[in-house]
Every structure is written in C-alpha cells, then in structure tokens.
C-alpha cells in the first residue's frame, strides 16, 4: 500500500485524538426488533426510505424530551439547557471515502418518516457537493497543518459548544453536533460496536445501532458529559 496524505475527516481526526484524558461510559442493550422491522416494512411499502438508524435517532430525541436534564451543555460549573433537541447523524460522502454528517434540528417534533426524508435529502446534497458550509469547513481543514488544525478545532469547539456561537467563516454553526450523535456500525457487518465521541463535539451521547440477523436488535451508547 502506497503512503497517502491524510485529507478531509481523516486529517481532522488525527488532529482531534490525543492520549485519553476524559471519562466515557460505554453500555449496550438488546430489544425485540419485531415491531421495528414491521414499521420499517410498512414505511418502505408506502415509499418511504426508513432505516433502523432513523428510528434510533428518533428514539434518542424522544428520550431527551422525556429527560430534559440530559439535553444540556456543561459550561464551567453550570448545566445550561440547550435551545432544542437536535440529533446529528454521521453519513458517508465521496463514495464512502470521507465522513460528514447532518444535524436534524428539533428531531423530537418530527416523525420517523419526516426525519428520514430530511436526512436523505440533506445527505444527498452533501454527497453531491451542494452544501456550501460543508465545503467551506472541509477546505479550511485541508489547508491547515496538523498542529494548527488541532488548536483551531479546540477553539472552535469552545466557541460553538460552550459559548453556543456561530462561526460562518469556518462553515460551523452553534452546537454543530446537536444534543446527540448517531452512527451505524451495521454497514461494517458488526453485531455490536462502541464509537468514541470526540471532545470537540460537546455532545451528550453517541448511539450506534447495529444490524442483527435475528429478531433481536442491539444498540450501544456512550453517554458522556459535554465540556
């Protein structure tokens, strides 16, 4: 394999991760996926592209609605309630060679079908290069050297997460990762997986739905305190 220069998200990831210095709790649970499979089947028969990932995202939003103490961001020694319940879905772009994501705002007020439709439309725009904010953020990340990118990520995470401010020059909006992040490990053929959330996300939890060949569905989550 030839040596390849890191670009895009891989370059960002190399600037984010350092030696472990913050606690995260990982857990897993199983549930009967029969009703989920039935709902997905009915939705697809009606022409709606609904997946387990969409339903997990909707369930996370519902959980945050029921337990508002989780939908907060930690600023110094205070827990500040977020303005809304937003769920960030990680998605593959550039034929699977890069990763990006879509934040669905007020996910608790949207049905699973509406959430899936919005996510598909916006993910398609990302894949086709029609998202100016993503293009601007990627261009900035690609232009900065690793050490400087690390400092920029820390500062931007503090400004957009702790201070809840927009950074249009960098293509970043306030709380860009929302209240929670959702990703799928089923595409890798894994029955279970634990994804570590980056410090800069200031995100409360990361839920990873996994496919299962049986009628039991596994889901993993890594709740953490946003800083």
Contact 143, 128 (CB under 8 A): no
Q: Is the pTM of this model over 0.85?
A: no
pLDDT for 119 beyond 50: yes
- d(CA 63, CA 163) in angstroms, rounded, equals 25
Average pLDDT, the chain: 77
User: What's the pLDDT at 184?
Assistant: 79
Q: How confident is the model at residue 104 (pLDDT cuts 50, 70, 90)?
A: very high
Helix and strand numbers (H, E) in the chain are 6, 8
Q: Which two tokens stand for residue 1?
A: 């394999």
Distance (Å, rounded) from C-alpha 181 to C-alpha 107? 12
Kindly list the distances between the CA atom of residue 150 and the CA atoms of 146, 181, 222, in Å, as whole numbers in the listed order: 6, 21, 23
CA distances in angstroms from 129 to 13, 64, 97, 132, listed in the order given: 21, 32, 14, 8
Measured distance CA(37)–CA(215) in Å, rounded: 8
CA–CA separation, 217 and 207 (whole Å): 13
| Runs of H (alpha helix) within the chain | 8-16, 34-45, 52-66, 112-127, 132-143, 146-157
Residue 27's pLDDT band, with cuts at 50, 70 and 90, is confident
Locus of tokens 């960002």: 12
Ordered structural domains, the chain, with CATH: 25-128+178-221 (3.30.559.10)
Confidence of residue 64 (pLDDT cuts 50, 70, 90): very high
Q: How far apart are CA 86 and CA 184, in angstroms?
A: 18
The Cα 10–Cα 12 span in angstroms is 5
Query: 108 — phi, psi (to 5°)?
Result: -70, -20
User: Sign (positive/negative) of CA torsion 119, 122, 87, 83?
Assistant: negative
**Where does the pLDDT of residue 21 fall: very low under 50, low under 70, confident under 90, or very high at 90 and above?**
low
User: What are the Cα distances from residue 32, in Å, to 44, 79, 107?
Assistant: 20, 34, 23
Q: What is the pLDDT of residues 169-223, one digit of tens each?
A: 777 788 888 888 888 777 677 777 777 666 666 665 555 554 443 444 445 554 4
């Amino acid at each position: 394999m030839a040596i390849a220069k890191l670009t895009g998200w891989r370059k960002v990831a190399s600037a984010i991760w350092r030696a472990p210095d913050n606690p995260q709790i990982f857990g897993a649970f199983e549930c009967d996926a029969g009703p989920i499979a039935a709902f997905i089947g009915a939705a697809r028969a009606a022409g709606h592209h609904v997946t387990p990932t969409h339903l997990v995202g909707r369930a996370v939003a519902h959980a945050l609605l029921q337990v508002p103490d989780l939908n907060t961001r930690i600023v110094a020694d205070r827990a500040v309630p977020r303005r809304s319940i937003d769920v960030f879905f990680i998605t593959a772009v550039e034929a699977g060679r890069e990763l990006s994501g879509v934040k669905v705002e007020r996910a608790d007020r949207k049905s699973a079908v509406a959430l899936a439709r919005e996510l598909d439309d916006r993910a398609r725009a990302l894949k086709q290069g029609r998202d100016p904010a993503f293009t601007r953020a990627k261009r900035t990340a690609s232009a900065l050297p690793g050490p400087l990118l690390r400092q920029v990520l820390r500062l931007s995470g503090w400004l957009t997460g702790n201070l809840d401010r927009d950074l249009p020059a960098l293509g970043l909006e306030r709380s860009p990762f929302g209240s929670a992040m959702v990703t799928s490990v089923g595409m890798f053929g894994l029955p279970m997986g634990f994804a570590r959330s980056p410090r800069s996300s200031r995100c409360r939890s990361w839920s990873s739905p996994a496919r299962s060949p049986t009628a039991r569905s596994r889901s993993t989550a890594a709740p953490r305190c946003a800083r």
